[in-house]
Structure 1
Amino acid sequence: MGYRNVPNVYKQNQILNATPKKLVILLYEGAIKNLKLAEIAAEEKNIETAGNALIKAQNIISELMSTLDFENGGEVAQNLNQLYDYLMTELIKANVSKQSDDIKRSRVMLEELRDTWMEI
């Protein structure tokens, strides 16, 4: 194993050994990271990079939606589903506009959600 693979191995071990709560937090962090990249790319008028980062964030939100347990999660799962649905709509709009302010609003919401999960 070369030294260049060390971060990937560390990340893989972090995921494989994570609790469900930690996995949710890691998903939020991945979406936030991609939205930060999209914001920067949008400001630099790098449309392709912004679009790719927004699509990655959308994929993560989609994954979060697919993991919701409506049977056991009740109202909390329903509320999160509505919030994720709203975020997906906003990210689609942001991908059309490529405006950093549109992207930032979604990032801030995800940061607040991540912080809430971290407090649980």
Structure 2
Amino acid sequence: MNLPSYSLNTKSKLNTYIEKEILEANPKQLLIKIYDNAIVNCQRKDIAKTNRAIQELINSLNFEDESAKGISIGLLKLYLFCQEQMRSRNYEIVYKILRELRQTWIDVFNSAN
């Protein structure tokens, strides 16, 4: 199947835009973008992509800093629960948890300013 050249150019421009946006994002913005990715893919019922996004959230946890360790352990448990629920196709619970966590982070970031 041959795709029209404008489709390829549009996709290329979109990928360039997304890449630039990610490279220029600060850690707070990146965290929210990962949540957005997980939420969108959860809505699409894409188990693999949602779980990859959740894995990125797990990878971002800080277990080294004693003041962050307790929160990181709690988030780890929630993230692992979400991954398990995605595999069980319980999309609504995962969607709800991710949306609430995303909003909580936004509230924390806004209150810190």
Structure 2 length as normaliser, TM-score?
A: 0.80
- Show the counterpart of 1:77: 72
Deviation of the 1:117 alpha carbon:
1.1
- 1:2 matches 2:12: no
**Higher share in helix:** 1
Deviation of the 1:92 alpha carbon:
1.2
- 1:61 matches 2:68: no
- 1:115 matches 2:103: yes
- Show the counterpart of 2:35: 28
2-structure distance, mates of 1:107, 1:10: 27
Moved over 4 A (4+): none
Instruction: Say which SS state the counterpart of residue 25 (structure 2) adopts.
Output: coil
- How many residue pairs were aligned? 99
The amino acid across from 2:51 in the alignment is Q
Higher relative contact order (Cα pairs below 8 Å, separated by 6+ residues): 1
Q: What root-mean-square deviation, in Å, do the aligned CA atoms of Structure 1 and Structure 2 show?
A: 1.5
Q: Any unmatched runs of 5+ in structure 2?
A: 1-7
Q: Any unmatched runs of 5+ in structure 1?
A: 39-52, 95-101
- 1:87 matches 2:82: yes
